Each structure stands twice: as C-alpha cells, then as structure tokens.
Structure 1
C-alpha cells in the first residue's frame, strides 16, 4: 500500500488511464451545500495564485482510495475508486464547465483542458472517459464530458453540479471583482491537495476506507493557539494567564476569541490569512521571530487590550460616545462583520490619539455609505472581505485617518457608487429584491429619520414592515390606472413589474392587511394617520402611479445623497457593464425546463425590455439567451443568434424543446414554465434569501396580552377577508392534520401579511427545523401555499433532488396543480382554494404525511 499527497493534475493528467467508480458505490450525491464550500475554497486559492502570495499553501480536499481494477492492463491502467468518487466527479465537472465556458473565445485552451483531464483522446466508447462513473450516473456524466448535453434533461446530481459551475463562472466575470478563469483552473488542478492511497490487489481497501473516515471532535484554532502560547511561556505563564488571558477568555466566547485572534493577524499585516489557518500563521510568525516570553506576553496583552474594542463591535451599547455608539448600532444592524478589520483599526487609532470621536464618526459614515450605496446599486458583496481586510495595510499615512479611509474606499475597483449612479438606481432598480430584509428596513428607517420629525418614531419598539404602496398583486383598478401610463411597447402588467419593487414605491408601516391591496384612495386614509412623515407625504398625493413613484424616488435620492457621503471624484467606473453582468448570471442560472420574457428580465434588472433585447442580440456567449421570449411565449421577430457557431441551431423552437420547454397548441411556450422577475431574483438569492430561516421567524405563539390578537388569529382574519369560508375551513383541516403528525404551526410577525409555516423540528432551534410550505393570505388575489423547494435543498434529507421531485409529483396529483420540474429550484405557489375539494385535500394530506415520514426516517437513522 502507498499513501502520498498529490494534486488533481498529477493524479489525472499525463497518460492514458481510467478511474472507475464501482457499480456498488452510491450515485453522485453532492448538493449545493458541498458545491458552495468547494467553490469558496477554489476561489480563495485562485486569489492566492493571482496575487502570487503564499504559493506553498494548498487546500487539503480529502482522500482518494484506489485499488487496481480487474480490467487493468499494462497499456491502459484502470483503477477502482473505493473512496473519493464525489470529489473526482465534482472536479471533473468543474473542469468541463471551464472548458465549455472558454470554448468560444479560446478553443485551443478548451481542447487542452479536455485532453489533459477529461478524456483519453485515442480511446473510444467508455474507455474515452478519464473518469468512469457508476452506471446510474454514466449517461449524464458522459453527455457533459462529450458536450452532448442538449436534450439530456435535468434532475440528476451530475447535471445540477455542472450547471452550478457554469453559473459560478459567469459570476466570476463580475467587473466588481473579476476572476481569471484560467486562475480558477489552476486552483482546481494545482492547489487542491489530495491524499492518494493506492492499494495492492490483496490489501483490504475497505478497512482503509473506514480508518480514513473515523473522525473525532477537533480542537478549534483558538484552542490550538492558546495551548501553543502557554506551552512556550515559562516563568510568567501563570501570572499572564490570570492577569490577561482569563479575563479575555471570560469576556468572549471561544468563537469570538478565535475571530479576535484572526483580526489581530490582519491588523499586524497578514491580510490574506484565512481564519481556518490562524494557528499555523501565528505560529509561523512566532517561530520566524524566535519569540520568547517577552514577545508572547506582549501579544497576549495586545489581545486583552483589543478585546474591549472588539466587544464594542459585538455590543455597541458598551461604546461611551453617543454618536459613535449610534453609528456602530447601524453597522451591527446591517450585519457588517466584513468591516471588522477597518473598525478595529479605527478603535486602535482613537486609543492612540490619532483620531478623535468626531473623526471616528466621519470614518464610520464613510463605511456605512460604502455598504448602503453598494446595496442600493446592487454591487455584489463577494469582494467585501478582501476590501476591508486590506484596509490596515493600505490606509494612506499622509492624511488624517478618516480622510485616508475615504480616499482608500474611493479608489479604483472598490465600486463605491457615486451620486449619479445612486440617483439612477433609486429610480429604476428593484430595491426590494436585493440585500437582506434588515438592510432594506434600515435604509427606509434612515430616510424617514432624515425628515427630522419633532416626535421621532421609536423604531426599536415599533413593529414596522416594508410596504408596497402600489401592491405586489394589483387588482383591476390598479391595472386600469397603469394602462393610462403604458405605451404600445409595454403592457400595464410589465409596467407594474418594472416599478413595484423600486425604492420610490416602498415605505414602512405597521397597519393591518385588509387594505394592503386595495385602491390607493383607501390606502390614503391609513397613511394619513401614520406617525411616519414619509407616509403622510404619500397620502398627500392625489393618485399613485409611475409618475408619482419616480417623483418620490427623486426626493428620496436627494435625501440619500445627503445621508450617505459620496466617494471622491475621478474614479473610473463600469456600472452599466455590471448591470448586464447580472443579466448574464441569472440567465446562466435558469433551470432546465424554464423560460423568461424580455419584460421579466428587464424588471429584474431595472431596465427596459428593448434594451434587454438589443443587448442579447449583440452580445456573443450569453448562456441561455435564446430562452428569453416575448411575454406571449414566442420567439421575438428580431431574434438572431449572436455567434456563427449558434447559427447551426437555426430552429430556436427545437433548441427550446430540447431544453424541456413545452409548447401549447397555439405554438407559444407553456406559461406555467415562465419565470417572473421575482422568480429570477430568487434564483440568485438561492437558499441565502431572507425567508430561508423559516424556523427563526415562524415561532410558536407566546402568551398574548388580554384582548390582544394572536398571530394565528390575525392570519385567519386576513385569510377570511379574501377567501371563502370553505377555503378557511380547508386550511384549518390541513393545520389540524399537520399537528396530528407531530408538526407545529408557526406564524410570521408581519402585520401587512401574516404567514403560516408548516414546521417540523424543534421550535426556536435555527438550522434544525424544516417546513414544506408557507401559507399566505391573498390580500385581494386569493391565498396561496408557497412550496419551498428552494429551502428544502439546503436541509437533509431533501438535499436529495429525487426526494424533492417525488414531493413535486405528489403535489401535481392534485386537480388544478401543474408545477413544472424547472421550479424545483424555486418556490412555486398553489392556490389555497384548491384545498376545498375533498379529493385534493386527501392527496395533500398524504403528501404531507409522506414528507413527515421522510424527515422522521432521516432523524432516526
């Protein structure tokens, strides 16, 4: 037996050979959770390659156990993959995605990747594959490796993984943080370390497999570093432990202490170190300096001193200066942990007398503005950690601290939007679809505070939610009003989709839901009685349509420009390119069997449908561009393939059919498979979306004050205001059955719309619960049950797509339900009125029972 560390490149390339996954192995089963973690590791290694830093530090991916195949021969070595097939399959699919991503612009490079890692060029049939998966995965894997995936369909883990990497490669082209695709290839092939255990024929490879997977509880990085420090200390160890370390350890949790230790490294200039490499990095620093007791004591005293600074980030109420305290509270509410290196630097400079509290408030305002303006303008957050980790080492020393921070954050490639971009995005961007709910609420809160109301609202006590003035589900009166503003190129529905989520149409309110979808005239009475100045101003207008939304957007933009300072002038930008980058990302994420329209894509971008059409027609290489159709589901008369290679697919309908799009008798794409602007937004939000933590928001009822309305009562009152008594009773029956299965009904805190979650698992235990559906009152359009496939995908056992597909099949058995397979990645709706029918309710209860049984079997296994 031989065990050695190797790299994917060394294992796979260089000669004709094959790695065979035995038929008894399980099928490919990595889910988005594992894929995301791997991608983060790849991206981090690609960054190290690009910066030419830490060349010797690879990322350990795991083990691969190999044994000679019975089919092995001297001229064509074949190996059985006893352990590690998930890693090898995933990396092969990632390289296939890179090959296809560069095929148009660099065909010779695509051929190189193919021949080095994926195929045996001179072999045929199954022997042509460098990796031969188990029989169940073979057809899908072969189709992706040979580039014949069109028409293969979706549904397998292999197809999901390949699509994941195609989407990530498009995201990597983001101008705010561009990544070189060949650096990514280099990270995969030469920066991911594997331990290859190669057995002889007589070795017990299964015993090897068991020993490699026998894991125990690991010490944290903080534990390892603490042990190292006090093993090195000699004479003064007990004094240092009692005086400095014990108070430090008592003031912070172990996780917080580890974070502080990592921040200390960053402040000392090691701005590229990963938190999981903290121990090794700090140990190396001590060894290089030949540190003795004096240096180690100085380090621990520094940690002790800076722990007070760190606690103020975690607990802003401990900051004595009221202005600084308020600024820290806003950043804490924003969940701005990425900014901690910069904030710790500001505390340190203030303590050293290089910055007073007024200057610190100014510096914190720049940081808040940087975050808020980027969020409003939809700049991706994926480079925030790098930006703020670099602050201690890059802060200019020739100007005061706050001004230096202003200059640094304004520099090229930081993408701090200027006033012109901020104003334009407030007018057109779908603000409600970006950022997290607490960030959107904070923006609206700050705008309300800017009016200087003589009796300010207590936002901490007020139960305010974000309200759409023009509702998300407009009734006929709203649509008639919009038709007066629509032109021939845009329907009232498309106009509504384009402006409903913009900042000019949003406000804060605590009013009840009965009037939330009613005409504007009825809303005015509620808004006039509001204590919020922004609501009184909305109520003072005579009507509410696109003109009023844009007028209010301009007013809010003026206030935003005053609230959040601008970057310094003179920085070159590429905002429009970034908008189109967002379009490329969402089209790359379109699930198999779905399409969208020019209007939907325009509403998602905050653009116009004609501009979208022009861009797609004139931009080569946009994945799935042909799946953008007219609102009627037809290929646009002006459609043309953007590249000569695509012209071989002259029959667009045939290409769409191969991608799972169904067509009606009239020749239009099936409207059930169409993705709206909101669903496009959900595709990029993934399982990180606001409502992904249903077990946090869907709490059991707490004891209510006498005569106070409970959340459950509010839910049913809102439901009854819009749906029939039969629907209300059907919902009650579903709830009763769910509770008889051992589940519980949780309710969201919303007053405008109070949701109901069908929950399993322990109440109040984040990450441990699961829910198949969330029910919403209709507020004018009829109540719906949202089937949360998107969130199931992050929770066992429903990370298995086959289980989600089975649940979909059971729901589609209900009369009137037709959810396409493509929406297994999303949150499709079912009308609650369908539950009135006895046979439908029986089928639903059977489906819910099946869901509970799958959950129970997972927890009891």
Structure 2
C-alpha cells in the first residue's frame, strides 16, 4: 500500500487511464449542502491565487484506489474504493467550466475536456476518464459528451452539474468577479488529496475505515486556550484569574472564538479564516518566539477588546446615544461581516484617536454602504473580504472616518452613488431582495426622516410591510392600470413591474384589514395612521403607476439624505450587474420550467423589450431559449446567438421537460413568475422570515398575542373569516389527523396574519425544524397550503430530490392539485378549498403519513 499527498491534476492528468467506481458502491449522493461548501472552498482558493498566496491549499479528503481486474499495462484502470463522490463532483465542475466557455473560447474548452475528462482515442466506456456506477453512467456520460439526456426527478448528477453552471454565471458578477480559469486552477491544483493506492490482496475496506474514523473535535477557542496556558507555567494562575476568567464569563465559547479571530484581523491578518484561527495564532507566537510576557499581553489585550465586542452584540451597553443608534441598526441588519471595521472604530475611540461624533460618522458610512448596496441589489458574497481587509488597508494619512469613507468608495467596492440609488428605487423590486427585517429597517428609517413631532415607538409597534397596490389585484386595480400602461404593456405586466418597488410599499399595523381592497378603502385606513408616509399616501387621489413613481422619487431624495454617498461615482457597472442577475436566474431555472420576458423584466426592474433585446444580442446566456412570450410561445424575434446552438426551439424545450398544449403553448403551470424567480436566488427557507404573511418561528406552546388571543385561536379566526365553513372543517380534520400521526401543529409569529406549520420532532430536539407544508388563511382570497420543497431541500432525508419528487407525486393525486416537477426547488401551493373533497383529504393524509415515515426512518434512508 502507498499513501501520498496529491492534487486532482496529478491524479488524473497526463496519461490515458480510467477510474472505475465499483458497481457495489452507492450512487452519487452529494446534495447542494456539500456542493455549496466545496464551492466556497474553491472560490477561497481562487481568491488566494489572485492575491499571490501559493502556500495555503485546501485539504479535500482521501481517495482509496485498487487495481481493477481489467487493468492493462497500456491502459491503467483503478477501482475507486473511497472518494468517488469527490472525484465525480470535480469532474462535473470541470465539465461545467468547459461548457461555460465553449461558445467564446472553444480551444480552452477542448483542452479541459482532454486534460481531465476523456481519453481522446478510446471508444465506448473507455472514453471516460472517470466511470461512475451503472446507475449514474447515462447522466454522467451525457454531461461529459455535452448532449441532452432525460432528466429523472431525483437525478443528483444533473443537479450537481446545474449547480456549477449557475455558480459560474454568478462568478461573472462585476461586484464579485472571479476569473473562470483561476477557478479551474483552484479545482485542479489547489485542492489536495491523500491518494492511497492498494496492491492486490490489501484489505482496502480496512483502509477506508481507518481514514474515516473521526472523533469529537475541540473548538478553535478550546485549542487556543489550551495552547496559551501551556505556555504560561509561571504566570498561568494569575492571568487566568485576572483576565481569562472575566473574559470567559462575559462571552460564550462561540463569541470568544469570534473575538480571537477578530484580534488576528485587527492585527492586520486580512486573509485568516476563522476555522484556521488556532493554526494562525500558534504560528504567529512561534515566529515571534513569544514567551510568558507576550502570551500574557495577548490575553490582556483580548480582555480589553472584549468590551468593544460586547457593544456589537449588546448595543445597549454603549453610552453614546448616536453610536448606540448606529450599533442597534447594524445589529438589526445582522451585519456581522462589518465587525472588523466596527471593532477598529471602537478601538481607535478608546485610544483617543477619534471621539464619539467621528465614530458615529464613520459608522454612518458602514450603514450606508450596506443599505445602498441592498437597495441596488449588489450581491453580498464579497462583503466578508471587503470588511476583513479594512484594518490592514485603512489609509494612514487621513483621519479615521475619512479614511474609511475613501476605502469603501474604491471602484471595486461597488458602493452605489446617488444616480444609481435614484434609478433603483424607481425600478428595482425592493420587496424581493434582502431579508425581511432589512427591508423593514429601510422603511422605518424613511418614516423617521419625516421627523414627526410624535414619532412612532418602532420597538413596540407591531408594524409589517404592506403593498399599497396589492400583490393580487382585483378588477378595479387592473382597470386603473389599464389607463396607465403603454400600448405594449398589459395591466398585468405593469402590475408585475411596479408592485414590489419601494414606491408601492409602506409600514402598517393593519395589513390584514388592508389586504387587496380597492384604494378608496385603503385610503380610509391609511388616513388614520400615525405614520407620516401613510398619511401622504392617503392624501393622493388615486394610486397607479404615476403615483407610485412619484413617491419613489420622493423616497429616493430622503434616502440620499439619510445614507451618505461614496466619494465618487461607482455606478459604472450598474447595467452589467443587472444583466448578470438575469443570467444568474436563467442559469438557475429548474428542469421543466420556463419564464416570460415580462416575468424576467419584473424581476430585474427592467422592461420586457429591453430584456428581449439583451437576450437576442448576447451569446452564451444559459437557458435564454426558455424565455417565452406571456402566452407560452416562442417569440417571432427569437434567434440562436451562437453557432453551437441550433435546432427547433420547441424540441429543446420538450427535452427540458416542458409540456405543450394542443395549441402549441408551453404549459402555464410550469411558468415561473417574477416572485418564483426571486425565490430561486433568495435562499430564504419557507415561512421563516416573511412575517407579513404569517411566517416566523413555529412554536408548540399556546403563545398569546396582544389582547390575550393565542396564535392558534387567531389562525382559526382568520381562516373562518376568509374561507367557507366546509373548508374550515376540512382543515381542522387534516390538522387533527396530523396530530394522530404523531406530528404537531405550530403557529407562525406573524404579527398580523398567522399560519399553521405541520411540524415533526420535539421543539429543540433531534430532527426539529422539519415540516412538509404551511397553511395560510387567505387575507380575503381564500386560504392556501404552501408545500415547502425549498425548505426540505436542506433537511434530511429530503435533501434527496427523489424523495421530494415522490412527495410531489403523491400530492398531485389530489383532484385540483397539479404542481409541476420544476417547482421542487420552490414553494408551490394549492387552495385549501380542494380539501373539502373527502377523497382529497384522504389522499393528503396518506401523503403526510408517508412523509412522517420517511422522516422517522431518515438514518436508514
């Protein structure tokens, strides 16, 4: 047996050979959770390459190989005893890179193919450098050949390939751009493997067990604490009592570890990862030949800085009112990424370099940087790098606040200027980006800017976000929009484009009462509001496109006054960012779905014609042919943009799982709306954030709301107010059956509209946090059952797409329920009214019983 450290390039490149996954091995099983972690490691290595760091490689794991019985001297074949998941994933990632560049750099695509994926002169199965298990071979071969293949509902090979195609499109975003060839280099030359090669007769399974035998790991803080006090034989007891014990009592172990990492960053190490904290600090002590005095000084400094850190996590401990207000808003924003900059500011203040007024001014730049980027939909995936680099890169020749302003204003930081902010407030679907509490905070700050003589106590007020023009408009709203729309834009398209924009949103405590009522009724309710922004809306004679855009312009000027601008314009990449967002969401389209030009335009905050022109003139946009007219037909103006793309569009769509009606239109059930598109990129789990629709924490105990009414009682009242007695009785019957099956019903924390979660597992116990669906009262439109496939995709055992597909199949047996397979990544729903049918209720309960059985047997599955 031989064991050596190697790289993927050293393992597979350079000669004709094949790695065979034995037939007794399990099929490919990585889910998006493992794929996402690998992608983060790849991107980190690509960033280190960009910075010139050639030492810090990432250990990926082991690969155990044994000679294949079909081995030949001129064509070595190896059995992959362990490591097939890693090798298959890396091959799929490289296939995705090859296809990503094929249209623009075909020679490089061919190089990747020949170096890593195929044996050029071999035929049949010998053509593949990696040969998966029998069940995985058709899909794997299709992706290596670059051909279309049937896509099974639970196919993880196809899902992994699609994941990497999507991530490569995201990597082209100008606000966090990654060079595709640097990503290739990170995969092939920066991920280290331990290759264990067995001889004939070696017990490879025993080797596998030894390599994978792991125990309980100590945290980074535990390791560093042990190291520190082993280096304090004389002073250890004194240092422990004086500095360490108070530090340990004031912070949790996780907070202490975070503080230790921040200390390294504040000392100028802007590349250290938190998981490498122990090794990095140990290396620093040993390089500096630190003795007891230096170790004691480090712990004393850690203790001093813990007071600053506590202000970040407990802003009430800050004595200055202005600084405290900024810290509270940043805490509400969940701006943990800003901690390096905030710690630096509090440290400089304690040292006397700046006063509290300058500290608050500097924090206003941090707040503005986050808020403007969120409003303008700049991706957040590079925020860690930006703020971690602040201590090392802060200009030394400027006052601290001015230096931070200049640093964040650099062109590659993408801090939107005033013009971009104005434009995005008018057009961007604000409601679809950022977290709910961030959106609410923006509206709260805008309300505060009116400086009402009796300001609202936002901490006590139960306010939610309200669409003035409702999300589900009635005929009166559509008639008004018909008067506002241009010839080429229908009322429905105008509504989709404007209803999520900031100009149409406000805060209210009467969301349920407002609902989708006509504007005249909303005026009466808004007129009595204590919020100045609502009184101004109520004073408007009508509420159409013109009024929404006028209010957007007014709010934009207030936003510009509230959140300082960068020192110079940084909006140069605005349009390319918008189009990259379009490319990202199209790359994320699930199999068996399509969208329309209007839906994509509403998602982007653009116009349908502009979207069509861009797609018609931009080669290489993944899934561009799956954007159709609103009626589900291919646009007369559609044309392929690359010589590599050809054929009849409808045939390609059918191969992608899209069904067509007798009239030649794509199935409308498979269409993704602008809300669906936003959900594809949101990462938001079903029902956990949208308080205004009744989401939030599902709790088992009978939590009371204001007025003594429990959440369960409020759900029953709201359900009865919006549905027929027959539907209410049917829902009660289903909830009772769920409890008979061993589940329990939790109710959401939405302050206005509540919900019912069908929960499994004891609250806080093993497996807690799994639910198949959430029931919502209708808010005037009839209640719905939301099937939370997106949530289940990250919960065992339903990370297996095949299980989610089986659940979908069982639900679709209900008459009146027809959820397409393409929505297995989303949160589709059906009307609660279908449960009035006895057979439908029985089928639903059978599906729920199956779901619970899968969950109970999750370890076996």
What TM-score results when the alignment is normalised by the length of structure 1? 0.97
Q: Distance between the aligned counterparts of 1:682 and 1:323, measured in 2?
A: 36
Q: Distance between the aligned counterparts of 1:420 and 1:707, measured in 2?
A: 46
Return the offset for 1:104: 1.3
Return the offset for 1:755: 2.0
Which string of whole-angstrom CA distances, capped at 9 and with x for unpartnered residues, describes residues 262-293 of structure 1?
A: 11111111101111111111111111111112
Picking from 677, 680, 688, the partner of 1:691 is 688
Picking from 670, 673, 676, the partner of 1:676 is 673
Q: Distance between the aligned counterparts of 1:705 and 1:159, measured in 2?
A: 47
Q: Distance between the aligned counterparts of 1:505 and 1:720, measured in 2?
A: 29
Residues 376-387 of structure 1 correspond to what in structure 2 (within 5 A)?
376-387=375-386
Alignment check: 8 A CA contact 1:153 1:660 kept: no
Q: Distance between the aligned counterparts of 1:827 and 1:49, measured in 2?
A: 39
Residues 817-832 of structure 1 correspond to what in structure 2 (within 5 A)?
817-832=817-832
Are the structure 2 counterparts of residues 106 and 469 from structure 1 closer, same or farther at C-alpha, using a change threshold of 3 Å? Answer: same
Alignment check: 8 A CA contact 1:513 1:718 kept: no
Aligned to 1:196: 195
2:70 is paired with a residue of what secondary structure?
Answer: coil
Q: Distance between the aligned counterparts of 1:800 and 1:175, measured in 2?
A: 34
Alignment check: 8 A CA contact 2:686 2:788 kept: no
Aligned to 1:452: 451
Are the structure 2 counterparts of residues 688 and 109 from structure 1 closer, same or farther at C-alpha, using a change threshold of 3 Å? Answer: farther
Instruction: Indicate yes or no: 2:213 matched with 1:211.
Output: no
Q: Distance between the aligned counterparts of 2:751 and 2:291, measured in 1?
A: 61
Q: Distance between the aligned counterparts of 1:618 and 1:265, measured in 2?
A: 48
Residues 734-773 of structure 1 correspond to what in structure 2 (within 5 A)?
734-763=734-763, 768-773=768-773
Alignment check: 8 A CA contact 1:695 1:764 kept: no
2:457 is paired with a residue of what secondary structure?
Answer: coil
Are the structure 2 counterparts of residues 831 and 683 from structure 1 closer, same or farther at C-alpha, using a change threshold of 3 Å? Answer: same
Return the offset for 1:302: 1.0
Q: Distance between the aligned counterparts of 2:177 and 2:185, measured in 1?
A: 16
Aligned to 1:625: 624
Q: Distance between the aligned counterparts of 2:175 and 2:507, measured in 1?
A: 31
2:785 is paired with a residue of what secondary structure?
Answer: strand
Aligned to 1:561: 560
Aligned to 1:729: 729
Q: Distance between the aligned counterparts of 1:519 and 1:712, measured in 2?
A: 29
Residues 422-437 of structure 1 correspond to what in structure 2 (within 5 A)?
422-437=421-436
Which string of whole-angstrom CA distances, capped at 9 and with x for unpartnered residues, describes residues 37-86 of structure 1?
A: 01000000010011102x11111111111111111121111111111111
Q: Distance between the aligned counterparts of 1:141 and 1:156, measured in 2?
A: 10
Q: Distance between the aligned counterparts of 2:824 and 2:773, measured in 1?
A: 13
Alignment check: 8 A CA contact 2:688 2:695 kept: no
Q: Distance between the aligned counterparts of 1:356 and 1:767, measured in 2?
A: 49
Return the offset for 1:544: 1.2
Which string of whole-angstrom CA distances, capped at 9 and with x for unpartnered residues, describes residues 414-446 of structure 1?
A: 000111111111111000100001101111111
Return the offset for 1:779: 2.3
Instruction: Indicate yes or no: 2:213 matched with 1:230.
Output: no
1:560 is paired with a residue of what secondary structure?
Answer: helix
Alignment check: 8 A CA contact 1:448 1:534 kept: yes
Residue correspondences, number: 858
Q: Distance between the aligned counterparts of 2:637 and 2:491, measured in 1?
A: 23
Return the offset for 1:859: 6.0
Alignment check: 8 A CA contact 1:475 1:780 kept: no
Residues 96-495 of structure 1 correspond to what in structure 2 (within 5 A)?
96-149=95-148, 151-152=150-151, 155-495=154-494
Aligned to 2:3: 3
Aligned to 1:66: 65
Which string of whole-angstrom CA distances, capped at 9 and with x for unpartnered residues, describes residues 204-248 of structure 1?
A: 111111122221110111111111122222322221122111211
Q: Distance between the aligned counterparts of 1:670 and 1:224, measured in 2?
A: 58
1:697 is paired with a residue of what secondary structure?
Answer: coil
Return the offset for 1:705: 7.3
Return the offset for 1:707: 5.8
Return the offset for 1:305: 0.7
Return the offset for 1:701: 4.5
Alignment check: 8 A CA contact 1:695 1:763 kept: no
2:226 is paired with a residue of what secondary structure?
Answer: helix
Aligned to 1:44: 44
Aligned to 1:652: 649
Aligned to 1:780: 780
Aligned to 2:790: 790
Q: Distance between the aligned counterparts of 1:582 and 1:688, measured in 2?
A: 20
Q: Distance between the aligned counterparts of 2:570 and 2:541, measured in 1?
A: 42
1:462 is paired with a residue of what secondary structure?
Answer: coil
Considering only aligned residues, what root-mean-square deviation do their CA atoms show, in Å? Answer: 1.7
Q: Distance between the aligned counterparts of 2:516 and 2:301, measured in 1?
A: 57
Residues 630-645 of structure 1 correspond to what in structure 2 (within 5 A)?
630-645=629-644
More deviation, 780-789/624-633: 780-789
Which string of whole-angstrom CA distances, capped at 9 and with x for unpartnered residues, describes residues 587-616 of structure 1?
A: 000011110000000000000000000000
Q: Distance between the aligned counterparts of 1:705 and 1:444, measured in 2?
A: 24
Instruction: Indicate yes or no: 2:551 matched with 1:587.
Output: no
Return the offset for 1:201: 1.4
2:175 is paired with a residue of what secondary structure?
Answer: coil
Q: Distance between the aligned counterparts of 1:606 and 1:386, measured in 2?
A: 28
Q: Distance between the aligned counterparts of 1:611 and 1:704, measured in 2?
A: 50
1:858 is paired with a residue of what secondary structure?
Answer: coil
Q: Distance between the aligned counterparts of 1:606 and 1:599, measured in 2?
A: 10
What TM-score results when the alignment is normalised by the length of structure 2? 0.97
Which string of whole-angstrom CA distances, capped at 9 and with x for unpartnered residues, describes residues 514-566 of structure 1?
A: 44111111112221222211111111112111111111111111111111111
Q: Distance between the aligned counterparts of 1:706 and 1:386, measured in 2?
A: 43
Return the offset for 1:500: 1.0
Instruction: Indicate yes or no: 2:659 matched with 1:662.
Output: yes
Return the offset for 1:688: 5.5
Alignment check: 8 A CA contact 2:35 2:160 kept: yes
Are the structure 2 counterparts of residues 705 and 123 from structure 1 closer, same or farther at C-alpha, using a change threshold of 3 Å? Answer: closer
2:525 is paired with a residue of what secondary structure?
Answer: helix
Q: Distance between the aligned counterparts of 2:323 and 2:172, measured in 1?
A: 38
Alignment check: 8 A CA contact 2:760 2:767 kept: no
Which string of whole-angstrom CA distances, capped at 9 and with x for unpartnered residues, describes residues 690-723 of structure 1?
A: 7379996222343537963322232233223332
Return the offset for 1:645: 2.5
Q: Distance between the aligned counterparts of 1:207 and 1:147, measured in 2?
A: 38
Aligned to 1:575: 574
Q: Distance between the aligned counterparts of 2:441 and 2:571, measured in 1?
A: 29
Are the structure 2 counterparts of residues 758 and 610 from structure 1 closer, same or farther at C-alpha, using a change threshold of 3 Å? Answer: same
Alignment check: 8 A CA contact 2:119 2:126 kept: yes
Q: Distance between the aligned counterparts of 2:696 and 2:150, measured in 1?
A: 41
Return the offset for 1:488: 2.1
Return the offset for 1:154: 5.6
Q: Distance between the aligned counterparts of 1:271 and 1:337, measured in 2?
A: 16
Q: Distance between the aligned counterparts of 1:598 and 1:35, measured in 2?
A: 31
Instruction: Indicate yes or no: 2:552 matched with 1:536.
Output: no
2:362 is paired with a residue of what secondary structure?
Answer: helix
- Structure 1: 5+ residue runs without aligned partners? none
1:82 is paired with a residue of what secondary structure?
Answer: strand
Are the structure 2 counterparts of residues 348 and 514 from structure 1 closer, same or farther at C-alpha, using a change threshold of 3 Å? Answer: closer
Which string of whole-angstrom CA distances, capped at 9 and with x for unpartnered residues, describes residues 150-195 of structure 1?
A: 5556640000000000000000000001100011011111111111
Q: Distance between the aligned counterparts of 1:505 and 1:696, measured in 2?
A: 24
Which string of whole-angstrom CA distances, capped at 9 and with x for unpartnered residues, describes residues 666-694 of structure 1?
A: 11111011000000001111355773799
